[in-house]
Amino acid sequence: MSNVLSVRDLCFSWPGRDVLSKLSFEVKPKQIVSILGVNGAGKTTLLKCVNRILDSTSGTIKLHAGDVQQMSTIDIAKHVAYVPQSVSTSFPMNVYDVVLLGRRPHISWFVGDKDREKVSDSLVFLELEEFAFRRYDRLSGGERQRVVLAKAFAQEPDLYLLDEPTSDLDLKHQITTMEKIRDVVKNPDRNSSALIAIHDIDIAARFSDQIILLHNGKIHAFGPPLEVLTPELIAEVFGVEAVVLDESDSLRIVIQGALAQERGEQT
């Protein structure tokens, strides 16, 4: 089975500043791949290049066998759902209509029964049915984040690009939301995958099939959590001392504190 996403030698630069340099990796069907790195490492930039919100300086990005640079915006939207860090709107849309926007790539002339069914299914799946006819702009940050994720689920893409999908959520919803993402990706009836930019190293260790460690605009390490999230690599990328616990079903990362050199730089 072909890769959902293949990235080769991807580079991106702003005027006078290189952001991403020679990134190469792939995302296979039914995989959750998490991107970890410090602030400014290029996690969001990478997601935006994959979705062609930003045009890469060089390199190739392929969705299945199709070159993203040769695809129309509507074709990309049929295959890719992008959930940014935060979404705000001044329009008085209710939650149902926001989620319905996820069906836009599949709608030609009118909203059909299948589109309404997918919206309802997504709201129920994320336990948002009671919010369906509330104003989106009057929800809390965490509630809005879950609504935008429901919009992505209704879109039914091959690839979810999720930028900090748990950043505004309380502890309970951080876990349940990641469980929902995993359930969608592992659904035997679909071949979806997820590429997630995330700060929480412990959540990434628990839910990811593969980890990309970004450091200074380059891939410092790429592979399964057990191989990538070692105390040595965590220290090199994040400047912290960590204990890695290999439990029966996942890793746990316990941060002990900043390395002595890092503490010295901050004093």
Residue 229 belongs to a domain with what CATH number? 3.40.50.300
By the 8 A CB rule, do 262 and 240 touch? yes
pTM of the model: 0.93
Report residue 4: phi and psi, to 5°.
Answer: -70, -40
Give the per-residue pLDDT at 267: 40
Total domain count for the chain?
1
Give the per-residue pLDDT at 90: 66
Tokens of 254: 């316990």
**Number of neighbours of residue 185 by Cβ within 10 angstroms:** 20
Determine the Cα–Cα distance for residues 128 and 95; give it in Å rounded to an integer: 9
Give the per-residue pLDDT at 259: 85
Q: Which residues in the chain show pLDDT less than 50?
A: 267
Determine the Cα–Cα distance for residues 31 and 42; give it in Å rounded to an integer: 21
What secondary structure, in 3-state letters, does the chain show? CCCCEEEEEEEEEECCEEEEEEEEEEECCCCEEEEECCCCCCHHHHHHHHCCCCCCCEEEEEECCEEHHHCCHHHHHHHEEEECCCCCCCCCCEHHHHHHHHHHHHCCCCCCHHHHHHHHHHHHHCCCHHHCCCEHHHCCHHHHHHHHHHHHHHHCCCEEEEECCCCCCCHHHHHHHHHHHHHHHCCCCCCCEEEEECCCHHHHHHHCCEEEEEECCEEEEEECHHHHCCHHHHHHHHCEEEEEEECCCCEEEEEEEECHHHHHHHC
By the 8 A CB rule, do 42 and 35 touch? no
**Number of neighbours of residue 57 by Cβ within 10 angstroms:** 15
Dihedral angle of Cα 107, 103, 95, 119, to the nearest 10 degrees: 110
Determine the Cα–Cα distance for residues 242 and 250; give it in Å rounded to an integer: 16
Determine the Cα–Cα distance for residues 93 and 144; give it in Å rounded to an integer: 12
CA distances from residue 178 to 34, 164, 207 in whole angstroms, order as listed: 12, 11, 7
The amino acid present at 230, given as its one-letter code, is T
Q: Which domain holds residue 53?
A: 5-266
Determine the Cα–Cα distance for residues 102 and 2; give it in Å rounded to an integer: 25
Determine the Cα–Cα distance for residues 217 and 213; give it in Å rounded to an integer: 10
